[in-house]
A and B are shown apart, each in its own frame.
Chain A
Amino acid sequence: MVPLVPSFVEPLLPANPAQTAILETHALTRRFGGLLAVDQLNIAVAGGDAFGLLGANGAGKSTLIKMLTTLLPPTSGTAMIAGYDVARQAARVRREIGYVPQMGSVDGALTARENLEVFAKLYALSKRDLETRIPQSLANSGLSQVGDHLVNTFSGGMGRRLEIAISTLHRPRLLFLDEPTAGLDPIARDSVWDRIQGLREDDGMTIFLTTHYMEEAERLCNRIAIMHLGKVAAIGAPQELKDSLGKPGATMDDVFIHYAGQVAAHPEG
């Protein structure tokens, strides 16, 4: 193969990971008055990855997710999703992403099927898609038997799986999950994990999740970033992060405490 550019400029191969990135930020920044919530952040998530975002409360995770899901405009810097700019091409970005918010965001006074129908219409799915995807999605989520039950009769795990079903009905390429198993019992948590893994492995969806559970991050994610004071303190595969401590037998808890544990005052300005 003949190099097209002299090798001292930049090697052509191996490919820059950014080339296959489905999500990429450049110096992404968000200020609230004097508070720098997200500070010059650069991250890239490759298509097919399961990316875990960890960090103490107030590290900037929620602000970052809000910017990436087009809910909050960045103060400066850019974020690209599937090749579209979250600030300038928000409408296009919204077609490519699904978002499972932190709180129970389904209408309990409606049935599971009705909830799915409402959002299918909001995403302008055709009638044919609506008729095939809703039963399929209920089956994949283990909710076929209770599709016509009111959602406020659901257990925590069923509700969460329904929320994931709603968020993926339009088949997004990138799915954001904000603390997907917070407050669930171990059995319900397992069922949610299975569903997330199914979406990644069977449907090829890229996963971007935040969590406070190290076990969850390790089980689901092939890459993990730890945020601290609006910046990425560490990023890598779970094993790489553990190795980086240079301590035999280090766990993800150790990693988290090492990179996000120091209590520091917010920098001025």
Chain B
Amino acid sequence: MKTAPNDLPLVQPGLEMSSRIGAWRLAREFLTATSVIVELEVRKLRHDPTELITRAVQPMLWLLIFGTVMSKMRGIPTGGIPYLDYMAPGILAQSVLFMAIFYGISSIRERDTGIIVRFLVSPAPRTALVLGKALAAGVRALSQTLIVYAVVILMGVHLNPNPIAHVGVVVLALLGAACFSLFSLLVASFAKTQERFMGVGQLMTMPLFFASSALYPVAMMPKWLQVVSHGNPLTYQVDAMRALMLRGGISTFGLGVDFAVLSIATAVMVFIAGRMYARIVT
């Protein structure tokens, strides 16, 4: 059987149609590329889910040890809610942050094995590749959300009775994972080696965590730290999570502002990380 040497369509689309078809095809290719990356990451996770389990330990320790001890003292103005309740959304955001901020190391591993070169020489848009990575980090965030919720329910945190609000918390966890994993990819694109990357990662996590409202209200911070925390997407993520997750939770900035800041930060990071992604192989 003979096959055609190339796959030109028998009828070429009319000129007036071609730009619309082009845009449609471009969008479809973008989504396909994104989903291929997510699929690859999920396949790997299914192959070896150890990471999901070990990652669950840290938020548990924060809630069970730090949370139990700190809830004995009443020095932190939480707006009338028990301290354990107050910190629960903060610990969820923190566990997602810690996972996401080290996510770029998988790209460094792919750089070392050479597979990333294949992604980069394919026509798949680089923004689609990094978005796929960000969504795959979101998959990990989902498992962490599940674990934190389980612990929090067992510890008797007073959750918001409205189930829709918890869907919002999941969306926030996804957005936070996407935003910070893209930041991590950007760092990986410049660091290029595991050693340098780990150093920078360690350097970033604590300031991001402490300069946020995860453990205490922004109003308690010294003035300069307040300024820093207002530029930190984690502050807005925790603020919205607290409002949605807890019974009687209120947002300081307003949910609209929180979601807008996180969404815009994520979109900007997709763009920047996509532009810089190829640096990882040079």
Contacts and interface: CB of A to CB of B under 8 A. Distances in A.
A105 B114 contact: yes
Interface string A104-128: 1111011000000011011110000
Interface string B28-58: 1100110110011001100100000000000
A196 to B, nearest CB: 18
Contacts of A101: 114, 117-118
A166 B113 CA distance: 16
B123 to A, nearest CB: 4
A106 B122 contact: no
Contacts of A166: 118
Nearest to A108: B113
B122 A123 contact: yes
A66 B121 CA distance: 10
Nearest to B39: A118
B282 A91 contact: no
B43 A91 contact: no
Contact of A105 (B25, B44, B115): B115
A119 B3 contact: no
Contacts of B118: 99, 101, 105, 119, 166-167
A99 B36 contact: no
B278 A71 contact: yes
B119 interface: yes
A71 B282 contact: yes
B120 interface: yes
Contacts of B43: 109-110
B278 A122 contact: no
Contacts of B121: 69-71, 94, 97, 99
A197 B33 CA distance: 31
Contacts of B282: 66, 71-72
Question: Which of B29, B121, B278, B282 has most chain A Cβ within 10 Å?
Answer: B121
Nearest to A171: B6
Given A71-B121, A122-B122, A129-B7, A102 B36 contact: no
A7 interface: no
A95 B123 contact: yes
Nearest to B129: A122
Contacts of B208: none
B113 A105 contact: yes
Contacts of B113: 103-105
B124 A71 contact: no
Interface in B109-137: 112-115, 117-125
B255 interface: no
A132 interface: yes
B142 interface: no
Contact of B36 (A71, A103, A106, A122): A122
B139 interface: no
Contacts of A106: 115
B117 A99 contact: yes
Contacts of B33: 121-122, 124
A87 to B, nearest CB: 12
Given A105-B114, A122-B33, A94 B7 contact: no
Interface of B: 3, 6-7, 25, 28-29, 32-33, 35-36, 39-40, 43-44, 47, 112-115, 117-125, 278, 281-282
In the A-B complex, list the 8 residue pairs whose CB atoms are closest, starting with the nearest.
Answer: A103-B114, A105-B114, A94-B123, A124-B29, A99-B121, A101-B117, A101-B114, A121-B36
Given A103-B112, A119-B118, 18 more contacts: A69-B121, A71-B120, A71-B282, A72-B278, A99-B121, A101-B114, A107-B115, A119-B122, A121-B33, A122-B33, A122-B122, A122-B124, A124-B25, A124-B28, A124-B29, A124-B123, A132-B3, A167-B118
